[in-house]
Amino acid sequence: MSSAFTKSAARNIFYGGAVFFFLLLIALTFDTMGQLPKRDNRENLSESVIRGKHIWETRNCIGCHTLMGEGAYFAPELVNVYTRRGPDFIKAWIQGQPTGAPGRRQMPNFNLTEEQLDDMVNFFKYTSEINTANWPPNIEG
Amino acid sequence: MKYQSQLVAKPYFIAAIGLFLGQILFGLIMGLQYVVGDFLFPEIPFNVARMVHTNLLIVWLLFGFMGAAYYLIPEEAERELHSPKLAMAMFWIFLAAGVATILGYLLVPYATLAEWTGNDLLATMGREFLEQPLPTKVGIVVVALAMLYNLSMTVLRGRKTAINLVMLVGLWGLAIFFLFSFYNPNNLVKDKYFWWWVVHLWVEGVWELIMGAMLAFVLIKVTGVDREVIEKWLYVIIAMALITGLIGTGHHYYWIGAPEYWQWWGSVFSALEPIPFFMMTVFAFSMVNRRRREHPNKAAVLWALGTGVMAFLGAGVWGFLHTLAPVNYFTHGSQITAAHGHLAFYGAYVMVVITMISYTMPLMRGRAANSPLAQTVEMWSFWLMTVSMMFITLFLTAAGILQIWLQRISDQPMSFMAAQDQVALFYWMREYAGLVFLSGLLLYISSFFIKGKAATAD
C-alpha cells in the first residue's frame, strides 16, 4: 500500500467504520423490532406455545432438526411440520420413536405426557404461522 | 520468547489440541450416523454427538485464542503479564468447566441436565451452539472477564501497538456479545434475531479481529517486515471485516420472520464479506514475499500462508456461494450450509490457531524452531488436513446441490429422508475424507514428540 495512506488513516477508518456500521445495525434493529408485531405471530404466543418452546429447547431438538432452516441438517425441517403432517401425526410420531428400523436414523423417545405433546403441536402451529417470506420453498421443507 | 509469563500459553495450547482431537472423533461418529443411522444409538444419539462436536470446537478455539493472547500481549506490551497466577487459575477453571460440560452431555439426558443446572430459573439451553448449561455459560463469562482484566492491565501499563489493541478489542467484543446468550425470549423470532448477535458477530465480526491480530503477529516475527506496513494492513483488513460483516448479519435474517428489507441489506453487505478475507490472502503472501529474513520455522510460515488461502475459500468463496437472498432461498439449511461451515471454521479459525501454536510452541520449548524432521512431519499434517477438509467441503457441496434439487426444486419434490437416501454416496465419501483428516491430525500431534537438532535459518 502506498505511503500516502498512513497507518493512522487506516486506524481511523477501522474505528470510524466499526462505530458507524454498528450504529446502523442498531438502527435497523429498532426498525425491525417495530415491524415484528405484524410478522412474528406473537398474538398466538399462548402459555402452551411457550411451554412447547421450552420442551423444544430442553430436548435439544435443534441438535438434529432445523427450525426455519437453522439447526442440524440430520432430520427434517419443522417450521412447517404442522401444515405438512398435521397435529395427530406429530403426536403419534413423537410417541412412536425410536422406530428401531435397522440402519435407519433414530430419534430418541422423550416420554412426553399428553399435555406436553399438545404443547409441542401448539408450538409447531405457532411457528407455521410466522411470516417467513415464503420460506421454505415447498411443503417438504 | 522474551518474557517468562508468556509460558502460560503452553497449557492453553496443549488443551486446545487435546480437545481438537475429541472434536474430530465425534465428527467421525456423526458422519457415520449420516449413513448408518442407528450407529451408537441409543448410547450417543446424533444430537449429543453434534453438541459435543460443535461445543468442543468452540471451547478449543477459545483455548487457542486465550493462549495466543497470553503469549502475544506481553511480548507486544514489552512487559510481563499482569498476573500469570490468575491466567493459570483461569486455565484450570475453564478446562474443568469444559470437560464437565462435555461429560454432562454424554452421561446425562439433556432435559435432566437442564433441570439440574438451573435452566428453569433462566432458560438459555437448547439453542444451537449455545447448548451449555447455565453454570458453564456463567463460567465462560468469569473466565473471559478475568482474562480481559489480566490482559488489559498488561497493555495499560505497557507499550500499546496496533496488534495488542486489536487483539484486546476483539476479545472484549467476544465477551460482550456472548452476553446475548443469556437472552432467550419466548418469541421465537426475537430469540433467533439476537442469537445471531452471539454467533454471527463472533465468527463474522470480532473473531476476525482476533484472527487478524494473531496472523499479523506471526507475520512480523517470521518475515521481519516493517511493523508499520503490517499494522497498516491489519487495520485495513479488520476495517473491511466490520464494515461488511456488521450489516452482513442481515444474511441470517431473510427467512426467520424479520422484515424483507434484510434481503437487500444482507445480500449487498455480505456479498462484500469476501473482501477482507481476500485481503488476508494477499497480505500473507505479500509479506512472505517481502521477507527480510529466513525464519527457521518453515512450518509456521506454511500455516500462515495456508490460513490466508483457506479462510478466503471457506469463509469468502463458500460464503458468497449461498449468501445472496434468491440463492439462499433454496440453499438455506441444507448441506451447502454444512459445507461452508466446515471449510470456513477450518480455514479461518483452526488454521490461524495452529499458525500461532506452530510459531510459539518451539519457542516455549526453548528453541527457535523444531528439527527439520519434526517440521517435515508437521507440514505433511498440514497438507493431509487441508486437502481432506477441502474434499469434505466438496462432497458436502455435491450432497447439498443434489439434496436441494430433489427436495426443493424438482417437479415432484421428495421428502427430506427420501432425498437423504439419494445422496448417501457423498456422505460416505465425506466420511472417508474425514478419516484422512484424522490421520493428518494424529500426524500433527506426533510431530510434537519428534526430537532432533533444532533447525536453523539456512
- Asked if the structure places residue A63 within a domain, the reply is yes
**Strands, E, within B286-376: which ranges?**
none
Do the Cβ atoms of A10 and B337 come within 8 Å? no
pLDDT on residue A1: 56
- By C-alpha distance, the chain A residue nearest B209 is A14
Cβ neighbours of B233 in A, within 8 Å: 1
Both A26 and A84 in one domain: the answer is no
B224, burial (CB in 10 Å: exposed 0-12, middle 13-18, buried 19+): middle
Does residue A53 fall inside a structural domain?
A: yes
Contact A7 B46 (CB under 8 A): no
Position B1 pLDDT exceeds 90: no
> Is A49 domain-assigned?
yes
Are the beta carbons of A14 and B256 separated by less than 8 Å? Answer: no
- Asked whether residue A140 is assigned to any structural domain, the reply reads no
- Torsion sign (Cα): B149, B150, B154, B157: positive
Q: Chain A residues with CB inside 8 Å of B259's CB?
A: 31-32, 35, 39
- Cα dihedral across residues A93, A96, A102, A103: positive or negative: positive
* Chain A partners within 8 Å of B253 (Cβ): 32
User: Do A21 and A73 sit in the same domain of this protein?
Assistant: no
- Kindly list the residues from chain B whose CB atom is less than 8 angstroms away from the CB atom of residue A133: 254-255, 260, 263
pLDDT at position B285 = 98
A1 to B51: CB separation less than 8 angstroms, yes or no: no
Confidence class of residue B456 from pLDDT cuts 50, 70 and 90?
confident
**Above 0.85 for ipTM, yes or no?**
yes
Subunit contact B126:A62, Cβ cutoff 8 A: yes
Domain shared by A27 and A51, yes or no: no
Q: Which region holds residue A103: left if phi is over 0, alpha if psi is between -120 and 50, else beta?
A: left
Domain that holds residue A15: 7-36
Record: contact B337-A6, CB cut-off 8 A: no
pLDDT at B376 over 60: yes
Buried/exposed A109-133: b ≥16 CB within 10 Å, e otherwise: ebebeeebbbbbbbbbbbbbbbbbb
Same domain, A56 and A116: yes
Q: Inter-chain contact A77–B333, Cβ cutoff 8 Å?
A: yes
Residues A79 and A61 in one domain: yes
Nearest chain B CA: its distance from A114 CA (Å): 17
A139 lies in some domain: no
Residues A25 and A54 both lie in one domain: no
Tell me the pLDDT tens digit for each residue of B238-279.
999 999 999 999 999 999 999 999 999 999 999 999 999 999
B433: helix, strand or coil: helix
Q: Is it the case that residue B458 has pLDDT exceeding 70?
A: no
Segment B352-365 shows an average pLDDT of 98
Could you report the per-residue pLDDT of B34-84, keeping only the tens digit for each? 999 999 999 999 999 999 999 999 999 999 999 999 999 999 999 999 999
List the single residue in B with minimal CA-CA distance to A50. B186
Cα atoms found within 13 Å of the Cα of residue B396, Cβ hemisphere only: 27
Q: Do both A22 and A48 map to the same domain?
A: no
Residues in B closer than 8 angstroms to A141, CB to CB, are: 407, 416
Q: How confident is the model at residue A4 (pLDDT cuts 50, 70, 90)?
A: confident
A88 and A47 within one domain: yes
Kindly determine whether residue B128 and residue A71, on different chains, have CB atoms separated by under 8 Å.
yes
Shortest distance, CA A40 to any CA of chain B (angstroms): 6
- Res A2: pLDDT: 60
* In the predicted structure, residue A82 carries a pLDDT above the cut 70: yes
Nearest to B257 among A21, A40, A60 (CB): A40
pTM of the entire predicted model: 0.97
Whether B407 sits inside 8 A of A39 (CB atoms) is no
Subunit contact B235:A7, Cβ cutoff 8 A: yes
Of all residues in chain A, the one with the smallest CA distance to B330 is: A137
Residue from A60, A61, A119, A140 to probe the interface with B (highest B Cβ count within 10 Å): A60
- By Cβ distance, the residue of B51, B257, B338 closest to A39 is B257
Residues A68, A90, single domain; the answer is yes
- The CATH number that applies at residue A105 is 1.10.760.10
List of chain B residues whose C-beta atoms are within 8 Å of the C-beta of residue A52: none
A48 vs B contacts (CB less than 8 Å) = none
Which pLDDT score is estimated for A23?
98
CB pairs under 8 A between A and B: 224
Residue for grid cell 500469570: B84
- AA letter at B300: A
Can you spell out the DSSP letters for A47-72? HHHHHHHHHHHHTTGGGT-EETTEE-
Same domain, A49 and A117: yes
Asked whether the beta carbons of residue A10 and residue B235 sit closer than 8 angstroms, the reply is: yes
**Structural domain contains residue A78:** yes
- What residues of chain B lie within 8 A of the CB of A102, using their CB? 38
> What residues form DSSP beta bridges with A67?
A70
Q: What does the pLDDT average to over A36-63? A: 98
* φ and ψ of B36, to 5 deg: -115, 85
Rounded to 5 degrees, φ, ψ at B226 are -55, 135
* Neighboring chain A residues of B239 at a CB cutoff of 8 Å: 10, 13-14, 17-18
- Over residues B139-164, the pLDDT tens digits come to 999 999 999 999 999 999 999 999 99
Mean pLDDT score across all residues of chain B: 97
CA distance A122 to chain B (A): 13
Cα distances (angstroms) measured from residue B142 to each of B147, B286, B422: 8, 40, 47
Q: Report the residue of chain B nearest A52, measured CA to CA.
A: B186
User: pLDDT digit string (tens) for B107-150?
Assistant: 999 999 999 999 999 999 999 999 999 999 999 999 999 999 99
Chain B residue numbers with beta carbons less than 8 Å from the beta carbon of A100 are 38
A31 shares a domain with A62: no
Pair (A52, A28) in one structural domain: no
Asked if the structure places residue A71 within a domain, the reply is: yes
Cell numbers 494492513 correspond to what residue?
B233
Q: What average pLDDT does this structure show over A58-64?
A: 98
Q: Flag whether A135 is in a domain.
A: no
Q: What is the pLDDT of residues B325-339, one digit of tens each?
A: 999 999 999 999 999
Q: In this structure, which amino acid lies at residue B189?
A: V
Identify all chain A residues contacting B333, using CB atoms and an 8 Å cutoff.
Answer: 66, 68-71, 73, 77, 136
Nearest to A60 among B47, B188, B329 (CB): B47
Which of A39, A58, A133 is the closest to B126 by Cβ? A58
Of B297, B301, B302, B300, the C-alpha closest to B455 is B297
Name the domain count of chain A: 2
Query: In angstroms, what separates the C-alpha of A115 from chain B's closest C-alpha?
Result: 17
